[in-house]
Amino acid sequence: MNSRRVLAYVALAALIFVVACGNDPTTPPPPAKPPQISTVTSWTRTQGLPSNDVYAILVTTEGELWIGTQAGIAVYPSITSTSPNDTINELNGLPNPKVRAMTEYNGFIYVATWGGGIGIFDMAADTWSFRNTANGMRANNVADVEASPTEDRVYCATTNGVSIYNVTANNFSSFIPPNLLDPVVSAIGVRMNGALVERWYGPRFDSIIPPGAAEDQHGITVSRGASTVIKYTLANSGLAEARVNDIFPDSDPDSVCWVACTSAGLALVDPNASTWTYATTQNGLPSNLVYSVTRASGTIWVGTQGGLARRRSGGSWQGYDRGAGLQADRVRRVYSDDGTRLWLGFIEGGAARVNPASAQ
């Protein structure tokens, strides 16, 4: 038998062996590809961010995209632009470059900074001004800022209580202990409860809470209307821990609030029914460290230490990370400017806009 015929027989035998193995019912199938979600646009330092550590995203009424980072703000002329027309830091507008939150109200953009109080940008005049402890703020470390249009107020979460800025009067009032359970406030949620404005103040209590009497001393404080104060503690409610990263008053239905916890997952709170329902990794969350919550395209989305997650019908959750198409795993900020578009701010990963409809 010549060598060519021998090689042909060997090749045929190898092919038969491969086919046979492929049809072997005992051979495990290849691992399934994880569910995917597509990115529309992404921004990193290559696209002009002053830092890849993103804390806040804002689309203004003028159509600009503001991305707030640990080292300042990149301002893009549109939501599709990847070249900023301005970078704002402590040299040209901000009281401190460490941005923590942003909101727009009545022609002004309010920027919470860690160490400098708040920066206020007048959109019509194209000018900046500051408000800090010299102007009556409780502290210069501001973790969150939320506007309440019906009151003409801007609420600032600080490390020494809540500073309430009266826009028309240009002065501050305060919400502090004993009304406030914890002086260190990390998150604020403002919503309407009937005809009354309701403000939720989430604490950041980082010490270990001992069992017993101390449990009723820490938790979420709710201020309703002009005089009613409600306190949700570890002892008198379903609150699982007194460390809150975000509070999201939901518009669908408008009677609930979502509370993002640092280790207990995500709480769905119905104050009218006095119920607290938690979602954790057992329900599909990528991590029990939840940073932020928003609603986009009719679905609740959360940013976690392990990735992005969306709430499925029925209450379970689907997670997405690098393997699903994200540019980073740790999602600090989820944000929707119009209730449809979904934006992500990553820890050391920049920012991105993803397509909610592409989620599998």
Q: What is the pLDDT of residue 24?
A: 55
CATH number where 231 lies: 2.130.10.10
Task: Tell me: pLDDT of 55 over 80.
Answer: yes
Reported as a pLDDT band with limits 50, 70 and 90, residue 314 is confident
Q: Per-residue confidence at 34, pLDDT binned at 50, 70, 90? A: confident
3-state secondary structure (DSSP) of residue 61: coil
Residue 13 lies in a domain: no
Whole-number Å distance between alpha carbons of 164 and 117:
12
Residue 271: its pLDDT value, please?
A: 86
In the structure, what pLDDT confidence band is assigned to residue 204 with cuts at 50, 70 and 90? confident
pTM (predicted TM-score) = 0.90
Q: Could you write out the three-class secondary structure of 188-219?
A: EEEEEECCEEEEEEEEECCCCCCCCHHHHHCE
Looking at residue 14, its pLDDT comes to 45
Residue 128's CB is within 10 A of a number of other CB atoms, namely 16
CA 124, CA 228: separation in Å to the nearest integer?
37
Tens-place pLDDT, residues 79-127:
999 999 999 999 999 999 999 999 999 999 999 999 999 999 999 999 9
Q: What is the mean pLDDT of the chain?
A: 90
Q: What's the confidence (pLDDT) of residue 150?
A: 95
Q: Is 65 helix (H, G, I), strand (E, B) or coil?
A: strand
Tokens at 5, concatenated: 């015929």
Query: What is the pLDDT, as a whole number, of residue 16?
Result: 39
- Considering only 15-29, 203-217, 219-233, 299-313, which range has the smallest mean pLDDT? 15-29
Q: Which of 213, 205, 210 is nearest to 184 (CA)?
A: 205
* Residue entry with tokens 């991305």: 67
Angle at 344 between CA 108 and CA 329, to 5 degrees: 145
In a domain, 8, yes or no: no
Q: What pLDDT, on the 0 to 100 scale, is given for residue 19?
A: 39
Tell me, yes or no, whether 161 lies in a domain: yes
Residues 135-162: what's their mean pLDDT? 97
Is the pLDDT assigned to residue 310 strictly greater than 90?
Answer: yes
Domain contains 18: no
- Domain with 81, as residue range(s), is 34-358
- Radius of gyration over alpha carbons of the chain, in Å? 25
* Residue 46 to residue 117: CA distance in whole angstroms: 29
Inside any domain, residue 153:
yes
Q: Which of 68-72, 229-233, 265-269, 270-274 has the lowest mean pLDDT?
A: 270-274
pLDDT band at 8 (very low <50, low <70, confident <90, very high): very low
Contacts of 277 (CB under 8 A, 6+ apart): 267, 268, 270
Q: How far apart are CA 322 and CA 346, in angstroms?
A: 12
Give residue 193's pLDDT band: very low, low, confident or very high (50, 70, 90). confident
> How much is the pLDDT for 1?
44
Q: Model confidence at 28, in pLDDT bands (50, 70, 90)? A: low
Statement: residue 9 has pLDDT above 80: no
User: Is 200 contained in some domain?
Assistant: yes
Element (H, E) at 121: strand 118-122
- Do the Cβ atoms of 34 and 28 come closer than 8 Å? no
The answer to whether residue 103 is domain-embedded is yes
Examine the pLDDT at 22 and tell me if it is beyond 70.
no
Four-residue CA torsion sign, 204, 209, 215, 216 = negative
Asked if 327 and 315 touch (Cβ cutoff 8 Å), the reply is no
pLDDT tens digits, residue range 248-290? 999 766 679 999 999 999 999 998 888 999 999 999 999 999 9
Q: What angle do CA 111, 112, 117 make, to 5 degrees?
A: 110
Does residue 233 lie in a domain region? yes
- The kind and range of the H/E element at 345 are strand 342-346
pLDDT, position 130:
95
260 DSSP β-pair partners:
246, 266
Write down the pLDDT at residue 70.
98
Section 55-73 average pLDDT: 98
Helix, strand, coil percentages, rounded to 5, for the chain: 10, 45, 45
- At 30 the pLDDT is 64
Span 315-338, average pLDDT: 96
Domain count, the chain: 1
Q: For residue 5, what pLDDT band results from cuts at 50, 70 and 90?
A: very low
